[in-house]
Amino acid sequence: MNTRSVARGGTLFAALAAMPVASAHGGEAAPPMPQWLALAVLLVGVVVAVGSGYARRRTSATAALSGAFAGLAVAAVGAIGLVQLSPVESLAASQPPIARAWYGPLTLGIGLAIVVGSLVVGRMQWPDRPRYAALGMLLGLWVAYPVVVPGSLTNPLGYLLALSVPVTVGYVVWRDARGLVGRALADRPSRWFGTGTGVVAGLFFMFSMGMLTFVPEPGRGVELESSFVTTSQVTNPLVYWPAVEFHFHDFLGTAPLSGVVSVGMGLLVGLVAVLVGLNAALLASQWRANSSGGGAEATAGSAAVAAPNACCCCGPVLAEMAVVSVGPAAAAPLYWLFVDLASPLGALFFVVSVGLLAGNLVRSGRSVA
């Protein structure tokens, strides 16, 4: 897999993602395409990606990686289509699966459980690696922060915590997996596969969280005739962050593009995208290293690397698939679980995703060492 392959995949992704979907959420016009079509695109992409994984035993690893990346790009387009064609406003405004009165106790309980569990397990299992316990405790504080810290939206501790988590993750990965990750990134096809996968994952999360949308906001969206770029302040993660809000009425000559991108959400999405990309590069490196022999050991190693990626990236799209299957009302709990980071469940999903992705890199690095 080379630069040209990634460029082709990126072009395909951009072209498909720019399909006109205006008025899918708001306004009187009907969606230009049914949700099942986006679901079909998603499933086709998954089949191509998985099929390429199996085909690596019969073809070159580079060809398999190119096919896998194309499948991932198509799957991401289908997932974004599900998000854009779903009644997200109805989901966001729906009754959460947990009464708001329980938000405080639940958030505090989950966060403190992660903090205490990380301290105990870290001391028992890895007494010579306190960085593991420190990272777990920081992730637990991330969940509990809205309850533990008064005036949390403007407290400097919130900014310190938001910056400490990615720094600590980077330190842990550097200490325990830099050799393995370095060898994976030194291989050009693996490096490009990891970079492309990380970019696709980042775009997917930005659309699923509402940071980017091809569908203007209800009440002001479809009637917007002019583009604008302005600055604002937004909450989440944890505190207020400076943000850029924009609307391009005729993006790429197809559909409007709106979005709000903040420094905090950039840190959050960037952290997950980088972890996904590193795991993908590691997976590609294993494919190429075992392309000639294959075998059960290579298959098991690839599955161990791919599983955290699948768990962390597939979570947000489950709500959209549920919309197609059972309707918005039944799908609302999944929206609150995977998408809304203001809920304790959404924060927990982020924390678990970071823990799985970073932990897999560390486990792989230590096993090689």
SS3 per residue for 165-186 = HHHHHHHHHHHHHHHHHHHHHH
The residue with greater pLDDT, 13 or 355, is 355
Residue 26, pLDDT score: 40
The residue length of the chain stands at 369
Q: Of the segments 31-40, 292-301, 314-323, 358-367, which one has the largest average pLDDT value?
A: 358-367
Instruction: For residue 270, give its domain range.
Output: 3-368
What's the whole-number average pLDDT of the chain? 76
Residue 332, pLDDT score: 58
Cα(293)–Cα(53) distance, integer angstroms? 14
Give whole-number Cα distances, 3 to 53, 196, 273, 343, in Å.
20, 10, 19, 40
Q: Which of 14-18, 115-119, 324-328 has the lowest mean pLDDT?
A: 14-18
185-200 pLDDT tens trace? 999 999 999 999 999 9
Average pLDDT over residues 67-82: 86
What confidence category does residue 141 fall into, taking pLDDT thresholds of 50, 70 and 90? very high
What confidence category does residue 278 fall into, taking pLDDT thresholds of 50, 70 and 90? very high
Q: Which of 101-115, 212-226, 292-306, 314-328 has the lowest mean pLDDT?
A: 292-306
The residue with greater pLDDT, 31 or 198, is 198
Work out how many domains the chain is built from and give that number.
1
